Amino acid sequence: MKVVDTRDHEWFLFEHEGHLYLDTNCNLSAVGYSYMIQLNDAELESYQAGGRNYLSKLAQEVEYSVPILPDSTSIYKSRRVAYEVSELTTEAVKAWRNNANFS
């Protein structure tokens, strides 16, 4: 797992074993949370065409759909993958910060 790109306070894009994952920084009232999905084929095509701007738009869609609510009808609700890759993403962010000289 490695960090491919990021937009401060919005999202991280990760790559792992040929797959891309978007980790969105979301807010719901006073609660902040992270929501990660694996990009599907349509999203990959849109990312290739639209780059970082597309990822910001997708991150907004994820956040505004509020997929963490129990009664949410978000199309992203069933796509959450953070639990499966949480240790990998934590290590990837640490490595990225070390390489970028962040402390």
Q: What is the pLDDT of residues 12-54, one digit of tens each?
A: 999 999 999 999 999 988 889 999 999 999 999 999 999 999 9
Domain tally, the chain: 1
Tokens of 58: 């997708």
Tokens of 41: 């084929």
Report how far residue 23's alpha carbon sits from residue 35's, in angstroms, rounded to the nearest whole number: 6
CB atoms near residue 9 (< 10 Å)? 8
Could you tell me the pTM of the whole model? Answer: 0.90
The boundaries of the domain holding residue 57 are: 2-99
Q: What is the pLDDT of residues 47-78, one digit of tens each?
A: 999 999 999 999 999 999 999 999 999 999 99
DSSP string spanning 52-79?
A: HHHHHHHHHHHHHT-TTSTT---TTGGG
